[in-house]
Structure 1
């Protein structure tokens, strides 16, 4: 069987075509040394789960580079404080590595508390603080006893695993161990929910929350977009958890079900069909006839407006192809949304996917779709040159590979500025996709953009030069 692209022998099984040979690609393995993976570390995985808590300080206990590299890593918006966007680091130096950084950490926590009086201080361990053995749990406990403020250790040393998914779990454990269940709500209703795994990237939450509130549900907390530590502390009293980003947050939902008996359902607010199904599933869970009736009226009203607003975009996008190279959740949750604007998903891949992610991708995409795991820059360029999609959906690290090949690009990662969730978000989604695909810039640009020189031939094993 012909390989998807020419690459190292050990990398060939990380790519497959649905309906041919491998059912899913080999995944969740350490990246091949020297191939310049696009992955993020465990520390980065924890940061993206916790950073959207807006009333909190996020303190990185490590060299300044760890904090600088992950500052505003989530692209989350806030309707309240901007405290979460403060870049805070203990800035460990050679002296701290030799003699230990615990004293410096303790003094930094006290200084930050005195300046900002935050709702919580999250202290992230990094590779360096882990290697030198700083006891951040003890420092956090001492600081919390002195200040009365939640000071929460996040044991997120980057070297723990090759996959940032473990960082998602570590961030979730920090909330489960130190925040959730530490405060009681002033009042409860029969329709209390938590939105789990919604990080308000570009304001996505604000396209979901009004729909849920109009249905009649009461949102105790969002974990963790546009949230406060005190709100998450009350999350244990919800009657239902709805899980949006299933890549990062199934773990938290399962743990809460085990610990507090809170059931959860998986939802998807990207695309019309998925948004509609999610709202109905929430209403059906509560079984309240008035809520079910209200939900149907909301859906009817919103769909009527969206159809008219997106017709022009659909006509131009019909039959165009798109390649997805995104996070594990988006690699399958966006597929139906693209089909709804008339596009064909010809490739779907992710950097940090686990078996569960690729099973979902396989269930969602059509036969003939390429499924890719942990493609490095060279592999991604070869995939784009060989299969020539009309659009690449990815993040900032892949943007310039696409543009230099003359392939339109749309950011669906943390750096985007347009909200795509919910019915109104779908209109923005269709508009932005159309603006990228239909832009005349690639007709005006030099044709040599896509005629890059051939890369050197790769041998059949890792020892090839």
Structure 2
């Protein structure tokens, strides 16, 4: 084992470990990426953009070179019940001349054109790396535009080199607070805010339907299918539920401090976490009738899907899974979901996991499971081969790596177009895992 560990880059050793229940050394995490390790993470700007982009009626203007806008164009498979404006990627397209003489004039002209042509309710202006270098005062330009046009123009401080992807999440959350304002609401309604779901394949609507079935309303969605008029009402809610704690845990804490809205971490990935989340919300928000509705609803949905799930369990029991996703809470849910299907998780890593996430991962995985933070392709390849993974669950960057190694792959990140959350999502997930793991193509590799 010591020889295997020695192959890891020296500066990365503290970010990689084999699970040992008696090991008191904690995995290092939530740090900037190690230079030269070719991290699978994205930059600060990308982190901010993925959080804010699903606000459907907002105008997203990238102040920087055209490549930054192209990099994040329609980067989430978020769906909208209204405007499709958010699908576009708009840029000030800074060139060499702008770098020398400054890009503030170009930003001002771009804002004038946007308001004249599109009349949006809110504009987010993203600062990229080059803007951080040349020092454009986007705060001042945004403030002038707000005053001139009487609309919200929110600067997003996200130069890519200023930290890691988690810093981008924080920049986005700060922008949301700036949009909502810091005043408490005198009016409170019996509803919740849904934080940290980005409506991939319409999953926000699935959860919204579940909650309506048990008598609970959503005040605002942050940010999947989010709309300006809903978001500014967020302080009226009585509870925040957080699906992706990695991206929205910071916002939930800020809202608790500013608006006195408590929050709970939830997950609608996998049967176990979906059921626990519904019961937890019902207990906090409702009465005996609400709790009974939740229990009845869960029982009905379980009865519908159990026969099909049992079929897939028989076909998948004994397989080995590797997981590499963005946030720690999703990784935890996936470990439980694989366990329910009879699949052992032999490697698990995240891009933005926190110490508390890794503590839970350590408890729910077996001895010897490889745990990584902010991995690079070499590490993923090394441990998948070493542990004999049958499938890798990750994002689009990990797909070629899996196929190169002859390992099945399941996309659980931004680009997917099918529901993997909730009760139906549990079936879809099991079906996809079966189709790819048990595909006859592996007989020819």
TM-score, normalising length from structure 2?
0.95
CA distance in 2, matches of 1:173, 1:227: 16
* Mapped partners of 1:352, 1:422: distance in 2: 23
State the match for 1:126 in structure 2: 128
Shift of 1:334: 1.4
Whether 1:241 and 2:240 are equivalent positions in the alignment is yes
The residue aligned with 1:347 is 347
Moved more, 230-239 or 105-114: 105-114
Please list the CA deviations of residues 233-266 of structure 1 after superposition, one character each: whole Å capped at 9, or x if unmatched: 1000100001111111111111111111011111
Aligned partners of 2:3, 2:153: CA distance in 1, in Å? 51
Secondary structure, aligned partner of 1:397 = coil
Q: Which residue of 2 aligns with 1:420?
A: 420
Separation in structure 1 between the aligned mates of residue 105 and residue 183 of structure 2, nearest angstrom: 28
What is residue 383 of structure 1 aligned with on the other side?
383
Is residue 205–residue 421 contact of structure 1 (8 Å, CA) maintained in 2?
no
Cα distance in 2 for residues equivalent to 1:422 and 1:434: 18
Other structure's SS at 1:36 match: coil
Aligned-residue offset at 1:359? 2.5
Q: CA deviation at 1:22?
A: 5.7
Q: Counterparts in 2 of 1:316-355, with a 5 A limit?
A: 316-329=315-328, 330-355=330-355
Q: Do residues 212 (structure 1) and 211 (structure 2) align?
A: yes
Q: Equivalent residue for 2:11? A: 10
Q: Distance in 1 between matches of 2:165 and 2:153?
A: 23
2:248 paired with 1:225? no
CA positional deviation for 1:171: 0.4
Partner secondary structure for residue 2 of structure 2: coil
- Residue of structure 2 aligned with 1:99, choices 78, 98, 101: 101
State how far apart, in whole Å, the 2-side matches of 1:355 and 1:153 are: 30
> Residues of 1 paired with 2:4 and 2:243: CA distance?
32
Residue 366 of structure 2: aligned partner: 366
1:456 aligns to what?
A: none
Per-residue deviation, residues 313-332 of structure 1 (Å, max 9, x unmatched): 11111111100011123222
| Residue 302 of structure 2 is aligned to residue 307 of structure 1 | no
Separation in 2, partners of 1:207, 1:100: 46
Alignment partner, residue 165 of structure 1: 166
What is the RMSD computed on CA atoms of the aligned residues?
1.9
Please state how far the C-alpha of 1:11 moved relative to its aligned partner: 2.3
Q: Distance in 1 between matches of 2:40 and 2:277?
A: 32
Alpha-carbon deviation of 1:276? 0.7
Note closer, same or farther for the CA distance 1:414–1:387 as it changes in structure 2 (3 Å cut): same
Taking the aligned partners of 1:288 and 1:3, their CA distance within structure 2 comes to: 58
Task: Give 1:461's aligned residue.
Answer: none
In the aligned structure 2, how far is the partner of 1:9 from the partner of 1:100?
A: 41
Deviates more, 1:101-110 or 1:198-207: 198-207
Asked if the contact 1:207–1:425 (Cα under 8 Å) also holds between the matched residues in 2, the reply is no
Q: Quote the Cα distance in structure 1 between the aligned partners of 2:112 and 2:439.
A: 52
What is the CA–CA distance in structure 2 between the aligned matches of 1:117 and 1:437, rounded to whole Å?
Answer: 49
Q: Distance in 2 between matches of 1:81 and 1:345?
A: 40
2:93 is paired with a residue of what secondary structure? coil
- More moved, 31-40 vs 21-30: 21-30
Cα 1:23–1:343, aligned 2, differ >3 Å: closer, same or farther?
farther
**Cα distance between partner residues in 2 of 1:359 and 1:248:** 19
Q: Secondary structure at the match of 1:348?
A: strand
SS in 2 for 1:25: coil
Equivalent residues of 2:192, 2:240 under 8 A apart: yes
Equivalent position of 2:146 in the other structure: 144
Aligned partner of 1:75 in structure 2 is 77
The answer to which of 304-313 and 232-241 deviates more is 304-313
Q: Output the CA distance in 2 between the equivalents of 1:150 and 1:364.
A: 45
SS at match of 2:61: strand
Confirm whether residue 430 of structure 1 aligns to residue 398 of structure 2.
no
Superposition pairs of residues 450-461 of structure 1, within 5 angstroms: none
CA contact (8 A) 1:243 1:264 kept: yes
Task: Report the Cα distance in structure 2 between the residues aligned to 1:184 and 1:230, rounded to whole angstroms.
Answer: 15
TM-score (norm 1): 0.91
SS state at 2:77 partner: coil
Q: 1:153 deviation in Å? A: 0.6
Uncovered stretches (5+) of structure 2, i.e. residues with no partner: none
Contact map agreement 2:55 2:86 (CA 8 A) in 1: yes
Residue of structure 1 in register with 2:289 after alignment: 290
Per-residue deviation, 1:33: 2.7
* Separation of aligned partners in 2, 1:110 and 1:364: 54
Give the superposition deviation at 1:70. Answer: 1.1
Whole-angstrom CA distance in 2 between matches of 1:24 and 1:168: 24
Paired residue secondary structure (1:316): helix
Q: Residue in 2 aligned with 1:200?
A: 199
> d(CA) in 1 for partners of 2:357 and 2:138?
33
